[in-house]
Structure 1
């Protein structure tokens, strides 16, 4: 059973899977947080209840030694609790800077700027920024943040000139755009300033298990798998390729990948690559025929996704038939798990069950836990697939004709 994780509550909405623990006396908040932060609170909760879904009343049964934890808080937080800060890009309050750092200074007992980071998240953040992703803290000037955290948010503005407009960055030089590695290196140089060097690049590559190799091969071989791992198999930067090491390969920002963007990838970027290969065949360049065949096969797969005929469709179990997307018209609110399915369902270009993606995220479309209510749009679907009414089915396909008729 997993631990009962704790975090400082800053007022966002939450559902029954979370609870806000609020002291009656606000002055006791540092002591309460010291208790929760120590891990003792979570351990006690699990001794009382180790079920998958915690009941809020369980949290009120935990014993709390106010005097002890007040002393702990006075030693650790003599100036009070700090404003929110983190260098973790998976967190809502992350500042968004590839190498910026905010740390807890034990001497001053307050937040402070840390040394520029070279950990395994730096390259991930840099690639995401290149593709146009921005963190919530950058878009919300009212968000409560530590002073140093807000400073790094401000410094992110200097990196906006490196952002790709359409959220499509090809690894090879295509359509007059520079190679992805050159653009990434330029962004990193801007981020590090006078601390950017060959030694810094080497540290970054070592941190992502790519020591002694280059940024280009890391982008092509390891970026996407590491991206999936870091963001818990809900990738928002997708690596689409044709299966050849020297073939067509592109990183795309899923949040910008609407129908028009996928068309642009299919016919403009990939189309330019196909034109290049045809010219190389005419010029007698080795490997061009294989690259052309792989690129044309990829184009056909992307066309299948654009069209969205089953089994290359999107199915959303909480939407009625008339609201199911026709073709590649994803609703971001439905989540990566459902919207990525067509890209994994088309013929594999290399890796088993990865479709046209460089790596297969740990994603499945088995039925979800629990039962739907009778008013759910697909409540009666289960028996058709050998299950029961109310089964929360995800692995289901609908023809374009059926969707069009319902519309």
Structure 2
């Protein structure tokens, strides 16, 4: 509540003039000793009653009224009212609250740009966080869903992120239970030495491993169903709205096509992104032409076998190891699929066909 609004309301209730005063550091220390007082009470000085409001830089601000004009009941009433709002007023002036307010200003701008369809927009100068935006920052999007969603205070999450990244990060609360995280690339790679030109796959591996650790930390800290997406480093100065849109889409794709996973990486969902863009009527015609192979996707064992087989680049030996089954058992399953569908997934052409059919089937089953 605004202090002036609070003053006017209390003044109207008690019917006498009330003023807000900022005491000197000496008076603040003399009348309101933090070690000996919980600030629940008022004090009397030179014919006035002082009700403590908040302290900033050692100077106490008080609501003052004439002592003789207030009854004991009115004093007690004002003490009760102010004790309920004092903590909120103090918190609203803290550096932590100011940081969250600044972050929400950037959040409002991002949401506005996304609603207007402007994915490539420069951050305006009146956004304070613009000063901290530099090229080479990695964006991560964290979401939480469930029946009983946890209440995650901004600064508890920020403190956890700073500890995990071992350095400062920018935390931007977007929608309810959705946060954008921006971190310097060096905090994830652990090195600023760029003498050896890194391959894109190397950065992807680093981001994948880092995201896994971050997800496990957050999931162990709060109860809820969390999803995390990350993108390669970028210059956020004019790409932030587009990055948020892409990360949101990545999480949606991951939840659609890989329902048991919680970390969703855009470079692992390229084909899924393409399939999701196919109009329903065209996807339906494709499935009709290929034939009814729903038997592949309704049997959990067969579906798990195919997904693991494709994930490991159709390598029979590695798939058998990953699934903890004998190589001959895997070959038997692949032969069974061939007999039932006429498609041999050990052949490149048939493997592509089955993979596309699997993805389209997942999309159609969810619509």
Report the TM-score range of the alignment, normalised by the length of the smaller protein. under 0.3
Higher helix share: 2
Provide the TM-score with structure 1 as the length reference: 0.25
Higher RCO (CA-CA < 8 Å; seq separation 6+): 2
Provide the TM-score with structure 2 as the length reference: 0.27
| Structure (1 or 2) with the larger CA radius of gyration | 2
